[in-house]
Amino acid sequence: MRTQVAIIGGGPSGLLLAQLLQRRGIDSIVLERKTKDYVLARIRAGVLEQGLVGLLEEAGCADRLHAEGFSHDGTLIAYGDEMFRIDFKEHTGTPVIVYGQTEVTRDLYEAREKAGGPIAFNVEDVVIHGADTDTPHVTYTVDGTTQRVDCDFIAGCDGFHGISRKTIPADLRREYEKVYPFGWLGILSETPPVSHELIYSNTPRGFALASMRNENLCRYYIQCSVDDSIEDWSDDAFWDEFKKRLPADMAAKLVTGPSIEKSIAPLRSFVTEPMRWGRLFLCGDAAHIVPPTGAKGLNTAASDVHYLYNGLREFYETGSADGIDAYSANALSRVWKAERFSWWFSSLMHRYPDQSDFDQRMQIAELEFLRSNKAAQKAMAENYVGLPY
Ligand code: FAD
Ligand code: DHB
């Protein structure tokens, strides 16, 4: 078959790009390695910046988000039994929206199906050909049959473990990486949230985060060892540890219950440069990873989609390649700022195995500075709600 844009990966980046292009009459096909149910069962991000909300509106996929999402005007930061609030509304005039990545993805799939846009699931052996020529194509197999898609452009939206990034010759790309010496154990439980606003908690026992999805669905995390597996953590063990990492007044009102999902995620910072090779463009986790502290992963994927969508739109509407030529530089400029914020917030909130007493006092001093200094709060709030595109 022939299409204008071949999109590899049916996660949020690929689906959002497909839907935005579709609304402008630009054809695409989405190639996804897994099944739709598998993609929708992945519990990941929960906090959306206004930029992503705006893109979902433009894609015609924001009705349920507006009806069911929660607007958060601030967040709570705890250290020991101390707690203070960063007021996003006061410092930026903008809230963030709590609405799960699972729901975003579900809405995007629904819109894609309604629009009749092609998606191929269970694809294997995806190979990109001729990305550095004007006539690229992609091959893949489904049910043992090889298919070929000829296209103008390829969007590599296939996540950190995808094939798109590795298609760029090693001598033409540069990778930057930091692996953190801990992971996050997350659970989902059908219990009322301990706090309406999120609590990021730095304690001598390690980091904890109280997040939520709705009035009866909590998403809670604790810092754990990279060597832990979910079998090491019964629900009781999780609740016991989580409680110890909340300020006493919050711990006293925590409602516990059975987990309905439990997973461990490693923490990594990663950026590959450039994000374009010929007619191949990398988007989202295919090009960069942030540690989850500060919820920038999905939001940074969305800003890539913004730059790529507008570049492709300009190309098809005016014939100008200026937008696509500027894609890598524009996307990376914002990516590095999100990397900095996620690294800073992770460094501030976690216990590190080799952390000295001095290092710990530096964390507390920085938290106390943030608590008392309006300029520091404003900088934190601006980054948390999302820097402009
Ligand atoms: P992905 O969501 O990874 O989607 C890529 C898609 O491509 C997948 O569906 C995959 O199956 C498909 N694919 C891969 N290889 C191929 C191939 N060869 N051919 C075809 N298809 C392929 N961010 C936050 O902000 N907060 C969080 O709490 C948070 N938690 C996370 C927990 C985990 C375990 C992980 C892995 C990520 C988490 N993130 C979180 C990050 C956030 O979920 C990602 O930034 C976001 O999913 C990026 O979207 P994406 O579409 O670029 O990539
Ligand atoms: C969630 C995850 C995060 O990494 C974060 O900083 C805030 C919220 C969440 O899953 O709800």
pLDDT tens digits, 239-295: 999 999 999 999 999 999 999 999 999 999 999 999 999 999 999 999 999 999 999
Rounded alpha-carbon distances, angstroms, from residue 103 to 44, 185, 251, 297, 344: 10, 21, 29, 16, 29
Whether 126 is in the pocket of ligand 1, judged by its Cβ within 6 Å, is yes
> What atom of ligand 1 comes closest to residue 13's alpha carbon?
51
Can you tell me the mean pLDDT for 50-55?
98
The answer to whether residue 309 is catalytic is no
Task: Encode pLDDT of 57-71 as tens digits.
Answer: 999 999 999 999 999
Q: How high is the ipTM of this complex?
A: 0.97
Q: How far does residue 7's CA lie from ligand 2's centre (Å)?
A: 27
By most ligand atoms within 8 Å of CB, the mutation choice from 47, 217, 263 for ligand 2 is 47
pLDDT of amino acid 192: 98
> What atom of ligand 2 comes closest to residue 292's alpha carbon?
4
Angle of helix 50-58 versus helix 297-318 axis, rounded to 10: 40
Closest ligand to the CA of 159: 1
The answer to whether residue 292 is catalytic is yes
End-to-end CA distance of the chain: 34
Q: How far does residue 77's CA lie from ligand 1's centre (Å)?
A: 27
Which amino acid residue places its CA nearest to atom 9 of ligand 2?
46
Task: Encode pLDDT of 139-174 as tens digits.
Answer: 999 999 999 999 999 999 999 999 999 999 999 999
Q: How far does residue 285's CA lie from ligand 1's centre (Å)?
A: 6
Closest ligand to the CA of 214: 2
Q: How far does residue 98's CA lie from ligand 2's centre (Å)?
A: 9
pLDDT of amino acid 377: 98
Whether 294 is in the pocket of ligand 1, judged by its Cβ within 6 Å, is no
The answer to whether residue 72 is catalytic is yes
Flag whether the pTM goes above 0.95.
Answer: yes
Whether 304 is in the pocket of ligand 1, judged by its Cβ within 6 Å, is no
| Contact residues for 173 (Cβ-Cβ < 8 A; gap 6+) | 165, 272, 273, 274, 277
Is it true that the peptide bond before 258 is cis, omega within 30 degrees of 0? no
pLDDT category of residue 54 using cuts at 50, 70 and 90: very high
pLDDT of amino acid 131: 98
The CATH number of the structural domain formed by 5-72+97-177+268-347 is 3.50.50.60
pLDDT of amino acid 205: 97
Pairing of strands 119-120, 96-98: unpaired
Task: Encode pLDDT of 202-246 as tens digits.
Answer: 999 999 999 999 999 999 999 999 999 999 999 999 999 999 999
pLDDT of amino acid 250: 96
pLDDT of amino acid 262: 97
pLDDT of amino acid 354: 94
**What average pLDDT is seen over the chain?**
97
Q: Where are the domains of the chain?
A: 5-72+97-177+268-347, 180-267+351-385
Q: How far does residue 235's CA lie from ligand 1's centre (Å)?
A: 26
Which amino acid residue places its CA nearest to atom 25 of ligand 1?
295
What is the C-alpha to C-alpha distance for residues 265 and 185, in angstroms, rounded to an integer?
7
pLDDT of amino acid 222: 98
pLDDT category of residue 320 using cuts at 50, 70 and 90: very high
CA dihedral 121, 123, 127, 133 (to 10 degrees): -30
Whether 165 is in the pocket of ligand 1, judged by its Cβ within 6 Å, is no
Class of domain 180-267+351-385 as given by CATH:
alpha beta
The answer to whether residue 178 is catalytic is no
